[in-house]
Amino acid sequence: MVQGYNVALKINDKTILGRTQDDLTIAATIKESQTKDDAGSKQYSVVGQEVSFKCSALIDVSGGDASTMDRDSLIALALEVGEDAEFDVTYEADEGDAYEGTGIITNYSESSNASDDATLSVDIKITGEFTKVSANS
């Protein structure tokens, strides 16, 4: 069993400061076909994948360090355009395999109310391939 805190998404080799959740979604890109011989049943084949992450964290503006990225750094990244908006993504789950790819931020949002800790949410989409690199030791 893998504990949630042992699963880590890293942006440019840094985790998000105050991270509380990292959700990975791999959605298949489907091609649909149907011939008369299919007798009414559609056929589907996988032609690729869309890989995306949804991450949540407590808002922390303490600056981060060599291994963590704070809220201000995330906003700066979310405001980049073109190639500057791309970054390395690494995803590790305890002693399981690690995966990596190139990511872009497709959505960044913050939430704050009067009595709870302020939180942020960031959506990341992998552009290109998402490949297995090694077992995380």
Partner 1 sequence: MTDSLREKLVYTCKDVCNLNLSEAEQDNYPYVVFDMTTSPLKDKDGVYAYSGDTSIRIVGTVLSALETLRSSIESAIETGMRNESFSSTLADVNEECTDGIWTIELNYTLKQYADWSEPVETTNTD
Which of 11, 14, 18, 101 forms a contact with partner 1 (CB under 8 A)? 18
Residue 93 near partner 1 by CB under 8 A: no
List helix spans (H) across the chain. 71-78
Which of 11, 15, 89, 130 forms a contact with partner 1 (CB under 8 A)? 15
Q: Which residues fall within 8 angstroms of residue 127, CB to CB, at 6 or more apart?
A: 86, 101, 102, 103, 104
**How big is the CA angle at 10 (ends 59 and 111), to the nearest 5 degrees?**
20
**Strand partners of residue 125:** 52, 104
Q: Which residues fall within 8 angstroms of residue 116, CB to CB, at 6 or more apart?
A: none
Which of 23, 38, 94, 117 forms a contact with partner 1 (CB under 8 A)? 117
Which of 11, 51, 57, 126 forms a contact with partner 1 (CB under 8 A)? 57
37 HSE (CA, 13 A, CB side): 0
Stretch of 25-33, 77-85, 90-98, 111-119 contacting partner 1, by CB under 8 A: 111-119
Which of 35, 83, 114, 137 forms a contact with partner 1 (CB under 8 A)? 114
Least Å distance, CB 21 to partner 1, is: 8
CB 57 within 8 A of CB 19: yes
Which of 1, 4, 33, 37 forms a contact with partner 1 (CB under 8 A)? 4
- Residue count, binding to partner 1 (CB under 8 A): 14
**Binding interface with partner 1 (CB under 8 A):** 4-5, 7-8, 15, 18-20, 22, 57-58, 114-115, 117
